[in-house]
Amino acid sequence: MSKRKPYVRSMDGWWKKNPYFVEYMIHESTALFVAAYCLVLLVGVIRLGQGEAAWNGWLAAMQSPLSVLCHLVLLAGAVYHTYSWFKILPITMPPVIVGGKKMAPEALTGTALAVAAAAGLALLALVWRIAL
């Protein structure tokens, strides 16, 4: 008779056991911040369709101190999403070959973050142009 009795350990609480996993869980959670903002935006779209008064009501709601505070929190979450999304880019994306060599992970993340910053600024410039 076999004396084998392999013991399977529980996975309960695995994400607390290693700082790497804690960071993983935090960066995963940033999606909630992004989605919360998109729902605010969706309400805006609906209010826009209900006419000028409704839209101005939405704009006024966005001006409340609580709203601004919430958006500061959402901004922090969204910025961390951008950072972490591009931080893992070197493993999520096929290798980029520059001059016959694989681009270093730090260089790839750096380039991607620069592109993201440029995209954000381009959006700001566009909104500015529309506003004037």
Partner 1 sequence: MSENHKIIEIEVLRYNPESDEEPHLEVYKVPFTDDMSVLQGAQYIKDNFDGSLTFRWSCRMAICGSCGMMINGIPKLSCETFLRDYYPNRIRIEALAHFPIEKDLVVDLSGFIEKLEAIQPYIIPKEPKTLAEGEYLQTPKEFNAYIQFTSCINCTLCYAACPQFGLNPDFIGPAAMALLHRYNMDSRDGASASRMELVASEEGVYNCSAVGYCSEVCPKHVDPASAVNINKANAAKDYFLRFLSPKGGSK
Partner 2 sequence: MSKYRTRSNAPIFWGLFGAGGMLSALFVPMMIFITGIAVPLGFLLPAGTMSYPKMLAFAQNFIGKGFIFAIISLSLWFCVHRVYHSLHEFGIHAGMGAKLLCYGIAMLVTVVCAVGLLGLGF
List residues binding partner 2 (CB under 8 A): 11-12, 15, 25, 28-29, 31-32, 34-35, 37-42, 44-46, 48-49, 52, 55-56, 59, 62-63, 67-68, 70-72, 74-75, 78-79, 81-82, 85-86, 115-116, 119-121, 123-124, 127-128, 130-132
User: CB within 8 A of 58, min separation 6: which ones?
Assistant: 43, 44, 47, 48
Partners of 102 in beta bridges? 97
For residue 19, the minimal CB distance to partner 2 (Å) is 17
DSSP 36: H
CB of 25 to partner 1, least distance (A): 10
Binder of residue 9, out of partner 1, partner 2, none (CB less than 5 to 8 A by kind): partner 1
Minimum CB separation of residue 88 from partner 2 in Å reads 10
The bridge status of strand 101-102 relative to strand 97-98 is antiparallel
Give dist(CA 11, CA 8) in Å, integer: 9
Residue 81 Cβ vs partner 1, minimum distance, rounded to whole Å:
14
CA 121 remoteness from chain centre: 17
Find which of partner 1, partner 2, none residue 72 binds, CB within 5 to 8 Å per kind: partner 2
DSSP letter assigned to residue 93: S
Strand partners, 101: 98
